């Protein structure tokens, strides 16, 4: 008997239908010498420390770091899992061959191999089904091309390394920071500080952006413009940092004629948009319709399981060469829903440019495209995502958008000005995006203003003005920009090799980035404020606690992803990678434990970095003569901070124990902006089996 294991029941039903297997049993479908069964996503996980040794149920510093000699597996604790796993185990035990039909990627491979391992069936012959779509045609073709399962051993090795590494670093760091810095009182109540290889660098990016905004001091500037024939012309020089300088030129040109000195025009050709990968789809839908990354992924997954789009958890924006013959048929089928948009295309001569088809840029899966199947009634989120994928797919084959960019030069009293305007000559693909074009017309961009016909040498009256403005800080992250920062995390890393690794992978994967954001929200480390994403005081506190820069930087993720990719390709050994993880974890605990106060110093100024000195009534920066205004008074809300507390606050940016203000446990943090934040700590239950069980934090008071 051949056993086929899928990741979800719905996929099992689809495969059984294509293979004409109809005998429904409890937990599987049987017929024609096959049994199709299913997991519920992850059925199997790694053991907790307390399951290796009862002593490890208590969270203590002297038990860290804990790294198992050999990782062991167990079933996840969810209803129905044990019964379904027993069904799978019995089927695998009786099977002559087992087919892996889980999602075609690193995590899908891990799900299958963990099930195989816990079932005791690792020696059975295995085959691999690689699916990018759940249409009947795609399933039939994939079954004709089944691979030897051991062809994907390197993929499993990389997945296993990722799983065990996350466990080692996350568990040890979480236990260390919770025990060392999470105590609320003399008892066992604690705040659970959750650390993660991916979530912590993302939180650090958000905190850093918030810091940049808080530290930003707007600088005034003055701009000189003039209006001639209802067109705004800008002064070609730099903006003025003094009002007097701008006023001087304004006086010079007031009452003087304005002359057109040159008119130039050039055509600009804009390429059609590329196909979507998951991250660009999430960003686009968040920007256009406000859907969160998690909602977009859920909708795309529903569309995939409904056979309407291809596999969504992809990091590629390209198609492979073997897809080319299928594309005309898909577009022909889409005429049922988009007849007017597809009509201009010659389906027999589609322009398959290297922006659409490139085998080298297709890894596990190709770009997200519609399958051509006509949708029935869709939910609101599914409709938005389906429309976005379909429009992007059609637009990729449309002609270029041709624009004419006109630049007009002018002057008054030898003071030079310039105006720009854009005219669409051939809309091409942009005709499919009327909403975007409408937004551009509403923008204040000077390049978008409509220009009348100007002639060189013409003169006339004009109206010059000086506008006062202020420089603006960076914008807070929203989901769109945060996903972009996670995808392009190399910008945050100095090392060239690591930046190149992150260029391809970024922080997290397309499949996990939405979950990372939701995890940080759920743990109250970040919050949504309208469309903005900001760090909470709890999140800022955690980043202040962590002194190891690697734990807060995309650099570690870059190192890991670089090595994991090499393991996937068979260019690096899993054992060597894991040895490095073990060493890093030991050094993390040792260096964090060894960090002590310098009792002979007060600390460094958070403003300028110079030494802090003690005055008669307060502590201040030694650079006060150079204008640094930092001062810290020891009295705070009726609490007198001791010299030792001042040292901790200034040197370590936090107090590793709580104080009680207004009958509420709180933690004091000294932020980079030079002020004290006192944070409501969540009222925690007593530890049970040594494991913290914190409640959500109360609203923060700053």
Q: Any idea which residues carry the catalytic annotation?
A: 311
| HEC string for 522-549 | HCCCEEEECCEEEECHHHHHHHHHCCCH
Residue 251: which of 104, 394, 415 has the closest Cα?
415
Cα–Cα distance between 208 and 543 in angstroms, integer?
A: 10
Print the SS3 string covering 137-176: HHHHHHHHCCEEHHHHHHHHHHHHHHHHHHHHHHHHHHHH
- Rounded Cα distance between 605 and 623, Å, is 9
Secondary structure element (H or E) that encloses residue 645, with its range: helix 643-652
Length of the chain, please? 702
CA distances for 456 relative to 232, 296, 400, 596, angstroms: 17, 52, 31, 73
Question: Which helix (H) or strand (E) covers residue 423, if one does?
Answer: strand 415-426
Per-residue HEC secondary structure of 259-291 comes to EEEEEEEEEEEECCCCCECHHHHHHHHHHHHCC
Quickly tell me which residue has 């091309």 as its tokens: 145
What is the 8-class DSSP label of residue 57? Answer: G
Angstrom CA distances, 149 to 45, 116, 493, 568, stand at: 21, 12, 37, 14
Burial 140-167 (b: 16+ CB within 10 A, else e): eebbeeeeebeebebbbbbbbbbbbbbb
The total of other beta-carbon atoms located within 10 Å of residue 197's CB is 21
CB 469 within 8 A of CB 223: yes
Residue 309 near residue 300, CB atoms below 8 Å: yes
Q: Which two tokens stand for residue 32?
A: 């024609």
């Amino acid at each position: 008997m051949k056993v086929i294991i899928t990741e979800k029941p719905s996929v099992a039903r689809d495969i059984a239908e294509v293979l004409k297997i109809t005998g429904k049993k409890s937990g599987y479908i049987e017929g024609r010498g096959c049994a199709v069964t299913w997991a519920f996503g992850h059925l199997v996980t790694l053991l907790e420390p307390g399951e290796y040794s009862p002593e490890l149920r208590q969270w203590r510093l002297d038990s860290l770091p804990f790294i198992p000699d050999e990782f062991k597996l167990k079933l996840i604790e969810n209803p129905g899992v044990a019964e379904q796993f027993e069904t799978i185990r019995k089927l695998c035990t009786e099977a002559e061959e087992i087919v892996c039909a889980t999602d075609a990627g690193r995590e899908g491979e891990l799900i299958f191999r963990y099930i195989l391992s816990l079932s005791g069936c690792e020696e059975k012959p295995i085959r691999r089904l690689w699916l990018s779509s759940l249409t009947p045609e795609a399933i039939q073709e994939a079954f004709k091309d089944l691979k030897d399962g051991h062809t994907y051993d390197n993929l499993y090795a990389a997945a296993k390394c990722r799983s065990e590494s996350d466990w080692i670093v996350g568990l040890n760091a979480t236990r260390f920071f919770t025990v060392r810095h999470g105590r609320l009182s003399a008892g066992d109540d604690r705040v659970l500080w959750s650390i993660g290889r991916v979530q912590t660098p993302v939180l650090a990016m958000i905190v850093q952006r918030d810091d940049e905004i808080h530290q930003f001091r707007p600088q005034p500037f003055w701009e000189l413009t003039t209006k001639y024939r209802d067109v705004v012309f800008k002064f070609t020089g730099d903006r003025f940092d003094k009002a007097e300088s701008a006023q001087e030129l304004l006086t010079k040109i007031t009452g003087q004629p304005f002359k057109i000195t040159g008119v130039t025009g050039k055509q600009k050709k804009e390429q059609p948009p590329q196909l979507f990968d998951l991250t660009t789809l999430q960003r686009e839908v968040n920007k256009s319709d406000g859907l969160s990354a998690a909602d977009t992924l859920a909708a795309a997954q529903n569309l995939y399981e409904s056979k309407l789009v291809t596999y969504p958890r992809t990091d590629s924006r390209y198609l492979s060469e073997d897809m080319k013959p299928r594309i005309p048929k898909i577009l022909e089928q889409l005429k049922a829903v988009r007849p007017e948009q597809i009509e201009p295309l010659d389906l027999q001569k589609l322009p398959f440019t290297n922006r659409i088809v490139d085998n080298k840029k297709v890894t596990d899966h190709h770009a997200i495209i519609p399958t051509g199947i006509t949708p029935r009634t869709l939910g609101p989120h599914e409709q938005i995502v389906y429309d976005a994928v379909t429009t992007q797919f059609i637009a990729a084959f449309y002609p270029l958008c041709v624009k004419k960019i006109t630049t007009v030069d002018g002057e008054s009293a030898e003071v030079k000005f310039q105006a720009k305007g854009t005219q669409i000559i051939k809309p091409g693909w942009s005709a499919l995006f009327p909403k975007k074009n409408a937004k551009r017309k509403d923008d204040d961009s000077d390049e978008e203003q409509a220009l009348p016909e100007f002639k060189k040498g013409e003169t006339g009256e004009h109206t010059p003005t000086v506008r006062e403005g202020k420089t603006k800080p960076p914008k807070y992250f929203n989901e769109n920009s945060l996903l972009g920062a996670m995808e392009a995390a190399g910008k945050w890393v100095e090392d060239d090799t690591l930046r190149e690794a992150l260029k391809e992978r970024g922080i997290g994967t397309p499949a996990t980035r939405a979950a990372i954001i939701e995890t940080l929200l759920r743990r109250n480390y970040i919050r949504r404020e309208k469309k903005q994403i900001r760090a909470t005081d709890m999140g800022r506190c955690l980043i202040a606690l962590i002194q190891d820069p690697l734990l807060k930087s995309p650099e570690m993720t870059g190192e890991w992803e670089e090595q994991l990719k090499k393991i996937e390709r068979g260019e690096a050994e899993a054992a060597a990678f894991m040895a490095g993880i073990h060493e890093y974890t030991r050094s993390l605990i040792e260096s964090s434990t060894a960090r002590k106060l310098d009792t002979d110093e007060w600390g460094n100024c958070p403003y300028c970095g110079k030494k802090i000195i003690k005055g008669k009534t307060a502590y201040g920066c030694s650079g006060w003569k150079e204008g640094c205004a930092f001062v810290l008074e020891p009295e705070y809300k009726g609490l007198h901070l001791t010299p030792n507390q001042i040292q901790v606050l200034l040197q370590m940016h936090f107090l590793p124990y709580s104080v009680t203000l207004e009958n509420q446990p709180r933690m004091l943090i000294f932020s980079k902006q030079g002020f004290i934040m006192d944070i409501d700590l969540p009222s925690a239950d007593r530890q049970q089996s040594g494991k913290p069980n914190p409640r959500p934090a109360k609203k923060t008071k700053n």
